[in-house]
Amino acid sequence: MTKEDRKNAYLYCKFRDEQFALYDEYAKRHGMMMKTLLVVNVLFYAKDGMTQKDICQRTFQSKQTVNLIIKNLLAENYVTVTEVPENRRNKIVRMTDAGRAYCEKVVRHITWAEDTAMSMFTPEQQQQLIDLSRTFTKNLTMLVGQERED
């Protein structure tokens, strides 16, 4: 590993952290926590709803975190939770009209910002960004999972 490798890893992670901070500040500006924003974002676009397990997988959050967010949204009447008849342990979470009204402007704006930021790249740059980010994530996942003595 070279000094340049370490510098570039630092810069890449700094940009990632800056993006997280942007999402966090945006969510707070609209009266919600960032993790809640992630959940309402996936639910807003899931017309038929989705299970809590699916929400966990899409937002990379724990079952406990998603469950707490769903309970809070349920208390505000922003979502409904219904059992799946063939498997009563699975429940479908759907946005209510009140929930859609609550988050529509916030979700649509952040989606527009993401889509517009991506559109500022050429198609080739977009593919390169996606490919390299996917590879970095795959490599990082493998390396974080390894125990190593320094």
Tens digit of pLDDT for each residue in 7-43? 999 999 999 999 999 999 999 999 999 999 999 999 9
CA angle 80/22/35 to nearest 5° reads: 25
Q: To which residue do tokens 């017309």 refer?
A: 47
CA atoms within 13 A on the CB side of 76: 19
**Sign, Cα dihedral of 14, 20, 22, 25:** negative
pLDDT classification of 150: cutoffs 50, 70, 90? low
Q: What pLDDT score was predicted for residue 85?
A: 79
Q: In what order do the strands lie in the sheet with 50-51?
A: 50-51, 87-95, 79-84
Contact between residue 62 and residue 52 where contact means Cβ atoms under 8 Å apart? no
Is the pLDDT reported for residue 61 higher than 90? yes
Beta bridge partners of residue 100, listed in sequence order: none
| Separation CA 132–CA 148 (nearest Å) | 25
Number of helical H runs and strand E runs in the chain: 6, 3
pTM of the model: 0.87
Residue partners of 57: CB distance under 8 A and separation at least 6: none
23: Cβ contacts below 8 Å, ≥ 6 apart: 34, 37, 38, 110
